[in-house]
Chain A
Amino acid sequence: MRSAPRHPTTPRPAARKRTPSLLHRCLVEHLHVWRFLIPTASLLALCLVLAHRQAPRRPTLADLIQALSSPPTPELPWWKRLFTDLRPRRPPQPARRRDVASDSGELRAVPDSVPPMTPEQIAFRQFTLAQLIMAQRFDRTEREALSAVSTVPFNGPFRHYEQNRFLTEMLWLRYLDRIDREATARGIRKHALAALDYPAANFEDRLNAGVGLLLTGDAERAIPQLQAAVDQWPAMDRMRGNAYLALMAAHAARDHHRQTLFMLAGFQRNFPDWLNVENYLPDLIDLEATYDNPLLALVHGRILQLVHDFQGASEKYRDALDRGLPPSAASMARHWLSETGEVQP
């Protein structure tokens, strides 16, 4: 006989499903996540260790600054060096401007300072300048200078800008030495235009780009760059004079006779180097060959007249008149020709 159960068998309420804990949910329910994360993170760590062992670092920017005998900077521990890359970078601030009187007496705003640069950018530029100076003085070959700059291990957005500036300046050395001028001018144009893509590109970059375009036969695109360089140049120095001369030549090449004549009138005031014709006339002669425009011959003749080479000037004026000038330019050419003592044609 079966004894009665001690406790009545009342139906037990259904057991409530327990909510899994956060730890359980993360580690057990989603084990596949950890089966993925642990091997991939280990693989990445292994790659980083191997990279550190097999491909040790090159001199950092701090090393280069020290090598350039700037005030020596202490070597930072590796973790501090890494965290410097995580500081948000400030966007470039526009340069302060000040008003100066222009040729026509109007006030115009010119930059009062260059845009601020980061310490790394300043160091990089110092380094490239040192290479340029050494290449200029033949202390090191161009190849050595390019190689030294290309191995600077710094990854900043300004790097392309500074590299393009450096390459443009390097090519100018070749151009002035008259080494393969056509290819060199194309290189100047390419790198100077690439430097213009950077937001902090300044009047020097515009001058380089403008002259590069002018030398390679694109006077139309050169004019706005050269005009901006002349307008933004902060001092009435020789380099601004170069920009002024190039702009005048670009206008002449594009047959803008009014602008050319206006700029010729202010040539001596705007170009301090105007007496040293041997420095800049070869470039003007190259431009005459490139563009074949009588206005360029007129400019050439006027420059020769300013340095009292009356015979050369009259030849150029005659050449320009024979090839056909616009009426106002022809009238000026005849007037200047009369000043040389020649008989008018």
Chain B
Amino acid sequence: MTLPTLVLCCWSSLLIFAWMLRGKFYWRPAPLDLIVLCIAAGALCTVPALLCNAFLARETELWAFSPNRLHSLLGILIGPGMGEELCKMAAGLIALTLVRRDPGPAGRMLGMVVVGLTFATVENQIGYSELGVEGLTRRGITAVPVHGAMGFIHGLGVNRAWPEHRALPLFAAYIASVVFHTAWDTISIQMPAYSTAALAALLAAAAGWSVIVWRSTPEVDQLLLEAGSRP
């Protein structure tokens, strides 16, 4: 692994991470223990996710690039959709359960996004480093922010689930991210004629939504604020 390749694989992850840190953590410090855990978890969860994709591609007909459109769709749904999203969510959730101090909504959201960004970086390194400068730069503009946006979806679900210990928001976030990931990959693989415009629109929508979500995420839980204000 050469340094330029590493930089090309992770430049946009670092930019998104820096942007997230800059806008928050005024009232409480950034949860460094959670960030370190999430980076490790995000790197580790790449292995089962890519193994799942490799299993589908090598051992079954449900292969993302299959000429049969139904097989391709199912391959994308089960592999990149269900497999990768579950691995990322599981990694982030386990990291959150391991930290002693609750990092608050912004910390939880940051943790889930860090898992997504680390996943994208390691995936770039393992699966796409042969694409060269142009290909990796293109992935830095498209695939990495999309993994970050899916981290925001996970983070939103986690923030809804955490204060009241409910599982339902986690399922909702998982389904939303699976649908988004499947739609993204299906458009890029099965509809090359429309992919540039459609993916640009999807990316812009996801990026705009992520910015709004991050800006509206408080640093402290609303429930805690309400409990603190009671007489």
Contact = CB atoms under 8 A, between A and B. Distances in A.
B125 A88 contact: yes
B126 A86 contact: yes
Contacts of A150: 67
B62 interface: yes
Contacts of B47: 86
Contacts, number: 142
Given A33-B97, A82-B55, A157-B131, A47 B78 contact: yes
B74 A44 contact: no
B58 A33 contact: no
Contacts of A60: 58
Given A33-B170, A41-B86, A89 B127 contact: yes
Residue from A33, A85, A118, A159 whose CB has the most chain B CB atoms within 10 Å: A33
A118 B60 CA distance: 23
Contacts of A137: none
Interface residues of B, number: 54
A37 interface: yes
Contacts of B58: 57, 60, 78, 81-82, 85, 153
A90 B129 contact: yes
A51 B64 contact: no
A244 B53 CA distance: 46
Interface stretch (B13-21, B29-37, B142-150, B161-169): B161-169
A88 B132 contact: no
A255 B117 CA distance: 53
Interface in A56-94: 56-58, 60, 78, 81-83, 85-92
A22 interface: yes
Contacts of B5: 91
28 contacts: A26-B94, A30-B93, A32-B166, A37-B90, A40-B171, A41-B86, A44-B82, A44-B83, A51-B60, A51-B62, A51-B78, A55-B60, A55-B71, A58-B61, A60-B58, A82-B58, A85-B50, A86-B50, A86-B126, A88-B125, A89-B127, A89-B130, A91-B132, A151-B67, A158-B130, A199-B131, A199-B132, A199-B133
Closest 3 CB pairs of A and B: A199-B132, A85-B54, A36-B170
Interface of A: 22, 25-26, 29-33, 35-37, 40-41, 43-44, 47-48, 51-52, 55-58, 60, 78, 81-83, 85-92, 118, 150-151, 153-155, 157-159, 199-200
Interface of B: 1-2, 5, 47, 50-67, 71, 74, 78, 82-83, 86, 89-90, 93-94, 96-98, 100, 125-135, 161, 165-167, 170-171, 174
